[in-house]
Amino acid sequence: MIYAHWEGFVKSSADYYLEFVAMQGMKMNEIHSSFLSLYFKNQILLGEKSNKNSVMIDFCDSLVSNSDKVIKITHKNVINTHDNLNSKVLVEILICLGLDTEAFETKHKFIDRSLVARRNNIAHGNYEKVDEEEMEEVKRTVIEIMETFRTLVENAATEKRFARPAGKPLAEAAA
């Protein structure tokens, strides 16, 4: 149950933040490269799916000359926990959203061992003995890391970290 809250919270929060950023109507030259990558990834997928050169030409034109064009960021079905929100998947989600990955570095072992591995063992029919004191510690830590995630998202939204700082080139702004 605790794992389910963890995964659901991260997925929902990330989805809502991505939707919030998508609704900002940012131009290609204004938006942080993490979101720009989502836009281009979607454009490449559309080009592959259509199998038309004209679609890829439009994509190439937008790469080269449309930096002041308002882009449409796809936000539905982008965040994927792979039904296994371990530390590696979490880091990918954080990077996708342009959020700080360092905030969770000390929690990787907890996430992978105490949360995900234990959840997987139970889900696959293995017996896991958990005492009440240990369960309270897991619950407390999960609430703590959920609050950390929430704070990162709230701060990023409030401080408009989804935007590229004015006057900074793409490579420098992404750092």
What pLDDT, on the 0 to 100 scale, is given for residue 167?
Answer: 57
Q: Tell me the three state secondary structure of residue 27.
A: strand
Which of 6-10, 39-43, 134-138, 149-153 is predicted with the least confidence, judged by mean pLDDT? 39-43
135 bridge partner residues: none
Nearest to 121 by CA among 92, 84, 82: 84
Q: Quick one: pLDDT band at residue 163, thresholds 50, 70, 90?
A: very high
What is the spatial distance between Cα 97 and Cα 160, in angstroms, rounded to a whole number?
A: 12
